[in-house]
Amino acid sequence: MLRSMTAYARAAREDEWGQAAWEMRGVNNRYLDVTFRMPEELRPLETRLRERIGERIGRGKLECSLRLSLATQEGRGITVDRSLTRQLAEAAADIAAAAPGASPAGVGDLLRWPGVIRQTPPDPTQVEGPVLALLDEALDDFIATREREGARIVELVESRCAEIATIVAGVRERQPALVARARERLRERLAEVMEKVDADRVEQEIVIFATKLDVTEEMDRLDAHVTEVRRVIKHEQPVGRRLDFLMQELNREANTLGSKSTDTETTRASVDLKVLIEQIREQIQNVE
């Protein structure tokens, strides 16, 4: 199933060991680029986390945040930064001396200062299982969101492919008449300026001219590329790069059609094709 690279997911869990929450945000990117925000004491798990994500996601820029709050357990007490506490007490005394009317700082004020109270860091091996399981849960939601957005992109691509096929069929239907008209105009002009000219030579030049105007090959390639787009968007594997290549090929044929055009309808068809192709290209920039 086609997947978008833009998605958001959150998974949280509360258990006897504490609370944890994963948040995942994804945007389009040429390759898989994963960044983590997590407690430093859990950094040893980062390699396993990257492997876990890489097994299920092929492309995109992902920002993964882990919030962890562990319950107080036996053997995991708290410590007081005595040096910092002493500095704060001295600073409070200096302020009190400089401003006699100010309320003195109490023990509670000192304890609330960041860094004064420190909890013994968790052992990564004790929370590894819950953290990985919760990541899997977040990934499930993240991928489901990507697939829902991908389904909407498929609908848009299918509708644009149908419009391209209709335009190509219209140009193909008009092509014999356009070539015949061009041949006749060329024959009349040659007759006006060249009274004595070899008839066979004239016919050869007309055939060469008509061949240059013929866009049958371009029509065939446009049809083939549209068929391939419709086939590719049904793949289970990431197809963003292949779709981008197909857009380049479609655009090339549309440009060639415009350069060979001899009437306003064909020129308009070329422009319409390029607009539709660009609309598809804008969407597939976000496809995994």
Domain ranges of the chain: 7-72+124-147, 78-117, 149-284
Q: Map residue 103 onto helix, strand or coil.
A: coil
Q: What is the CA radius of gyration of the chain?
A: 34
The pTM (predicted TM-score) of the whole model is 0.69
Handedness of CA 269, 274, 275, 280 (dihedral sign): positive
- Find out if CATH 3.30.230 is the number for domain 7-72+124-147: yes
Sheet holding 60-70, edge to edge: 7-15, 18-27, 60-70, 32-37
- Say what the pLDDT of residue 39 is: 87
* In 103-262, beta strands by DSSP E: 117-119
Q: What is the pLDDT of residue 209?
A: 62
What is residue 35's predicted lDDT score, i.e. its pLDDT?
95
Q: What is the dihedral of CA 253, 257, 260, 266, to 10 degrees?
A: 180
pLDDT along the chain (288 residues), means of 10: 91 84 93 92 89 92 90 61 78 75 70 69 72 94 94 94 95 82 71 61 62 80 95 88 94 91 87 96 91
Give, in degrees to the nearest 5, the angle at Cα 43 between 38 and 46: 90
Give the helix/strand (H/E) hosting 95: helix 82-98
Return d(Cα 139, Cα 150) in angstroms, integer.
16
Provide the pLDDT for residue 68. 86
Distance from C-alpha of 123 to C-alpha of 133, rounded to nearest angstrom: 17
CA–CA distance, 162 with 218 (Å, rounded to integer)? 17
Q: For strands 60-70 and 117-119, give the pairing.
A: unpaired
Amino acid, single-letter form, for residue 229: V
Question: Exposed (0-12), middle (13-18) or buried (19+): which is 23, by Cβ within 10 Å?
Answer: middle
